[in-house]
Structure formats: C-alpha cells, structure tokens
C-alpha cells in the first residue's frame, strides 16, 4: 500500500514567486494535516482537513498560504507570494477514523523542502 | 500557548549504551503522547506512544514514561544501535477530540557511535 506522498521533494524559488506543494494521502484517509518545520525548530501544525473541509486552520501563518483539498483526496498548499521566512520543510500527514472517537496514527510523508532565496 | 519542550537537542552515545530524551508539555488537557523518529530524507514515523492513563510503556528496546502531575514524559532507548541514529520528536495532543492537532517538541538529534 502506498504511503503519504509529497511533491516536489525539493523546491527553490525566489522571493515573491508562487509555489504549490502537493500531498497525496493514504487512500481512504479522511484526515489530512499539513505541518512545517522551520530551521531545525519544532514541527508546527498548519491545518487539518476532514475530507474536503477545513477542520482547523489555526496554524496557518498568514493569508499568503492557501490550502485546498477539492474532492477530499489530494491536497495542495500554495504560498503566494513567498517570503524568505517561508523556507523550511513542509510535511503532510494523513489518518483515518476507526470509530466515533478513534483514529489511526498519523502517517507522514517525506516532506517538501522549500527554499526561498 | 501550548508548547512542548525537549532536551537535549543533540545526543551522542556509544553503541550499546542507553539514550534518554526528556520532554515537558504545557497543556494540562493533553492525554496522548506519541514519539516520532525521523531518518534522513524521510518523514517522521511513529515509534511508540503513551496515553495519560498509563505511566509506562515498553516495546522491545524502547520505553516511554509519563508523569502527568509534573507534565513530564521521557523516551528511553536501551542497547542502542547505529540504526537508531535519527532525529526524535516528542509530541502531545488531546485525543479524542473533534480534531487532533499534535504539538511537537523541537527534536533531538541522536547519534549512535559504532
């Protein structure tokens, strides 16, 4: 079974440009999360989708970041325009509901390393 | 806000020795504490977790302990091997809830020297 996959694995863009990151969760997983690790610090939560709905987007840093999950399958995270402080590793994770209150563990993708120059 | 602290940030041990990583959390409502291992070029992978109704859990060479009163939890790796070298993240969250945002610690880079 394929795990969580992210594209691209690396991206180098200039300040002011736009970048779109993609995440394909494990098939059938309704929960999809985006996280970011900046400069060796902690992995910070960005947002959580349940199917196509944004359940929690409290971690999104500002309105330059836009996440979508049309159809409830793959998700994209767009940064427009990119700033230097957006550099870091962006992780996607997915999990599935197994009961009314239970979930599988969150499985992480390998991450996209974004460098803004 | 909610945060998780983790120490040390880097740790080097000789193969066969034990490694201990310690974390503290601030959100008293946290009840689920996963530990993730991230190897080079890969995403974080869950290696063990503990829930708030348990004080200790062991899985082969790794064990976790939890002190809810002090809001401390620790990861213990015994008989370390070179393949244990990785970045380890502790984390805390509230489960089950309507969402399960996970708060991560800053990570510990563990090097096991052959």
The encoded tokens of residue B86 equal 């990785």
A48, B93 in Cβ contact below 8 A? no
pLDDT of B49 > 80? The answer is yes
A106/B contact by beta carbon, under 8 A? yes
Collect all residues of chain A within an 8 Å Cβ-Cβ radius of residue B89.
42-43
Give per-residue pLDDT as tens, A45-84: 999 999 999 988 999 999 999 999 988 899 999 999 999 9
- Rounded Cα–Cα distance for residues B37 and B49 (Å): 12
Q: Which of A35, A43, A58, A97 to mutate to test the interface with B (most CBs of B within 10 A)?
A: A43
Query: What confidence category does residue A101 fall into, taking pLDDT thresholds of 50, 70 and 90?
Result: low
Which tens digit of pLDDT belongs to each residue from A27-39? Answer: 989 999 999 999 8
A35 sits in the region (left: phi over 0; alpha: psi -120 to 50; else beta) called beta
Residue ranges of alpha helices (H) inside A1-117 are none
Contact A17, A108 (CB under 8 A): no
Q: Search chain B and give the residue with CA nearest A103.
A: B96
A103 CB-near residues (< 8 Å, 6+ apart): A31, A95, A96, A97, B95, B96, B100
What's residue B98's pLDDT? 42
Residue B34 Cα distances to A7, A116, B17, B50, B63, angstroms: 26, 31, 23, 6, 12
In angstroms, the separation between the Cα of residue A57 and the nearest Cα of chain B is 10
Residues 6+ apart with CB under 8 A from B5: B23, B24, B25, B105, B106
pLDDT of A11 over the 70 cut: yes
Tell me the two tokens of residue A35: 């996280």
Q: How far apart are CA B114 and CA A73, in angstroms?
A: 44
Distance, CA of B47 to chain centre? 9
Mean pLDDT is highest, among B2-6, B25-29, B77-81, for B77-81
């Amino acid at each position: 079974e394929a795990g969580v996959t992210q594209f691209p694995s690396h991206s180098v863009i200039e300040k002011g440009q736009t970048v779109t990151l993609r995440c394909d969760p494990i098939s059938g997983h309704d929960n999809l999360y985006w996280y970011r690790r900046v400069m060796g610090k902690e992995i910070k939560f960005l947002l959580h989708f349940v199917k196509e709905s944004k359940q929690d987007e409290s971690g999104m840093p500002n309105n330059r970041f836009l996440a979508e999950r049309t159809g409830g399958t793959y998700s994209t995270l767009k940064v427009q325009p990119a700033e230097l402080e957006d550099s870091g590793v962006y992780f996607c994770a997915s999990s599935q509901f197994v009961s009314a209150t239970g979930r599988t563990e969150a499985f992480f993708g390998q991450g996209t390393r974004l460098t803004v120059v | 806000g909610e945060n998780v602290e983790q120490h040390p940030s880097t740790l080097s041990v000789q193969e066969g020795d034990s490694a201990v990583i310690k974390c503290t959390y601030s959100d008293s409502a946290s009840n689920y504490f996963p530990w993730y291992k991230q190897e080079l070029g890969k995403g974080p992978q869950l290696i063990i977790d503990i829930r708030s109704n348990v004080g200790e859990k062991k899985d082969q060479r790794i064990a976790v302990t939890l002190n809810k009163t002090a809001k401390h939890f620790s990861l213990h790796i015994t008989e370390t091997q070179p393949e244990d070298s990785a970045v380890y993240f502790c984390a805390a969250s509230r489960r089950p809830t309507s969402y399960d945002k996970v708060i991560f610690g800053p990570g510990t880079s563990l090097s096991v020297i052959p």
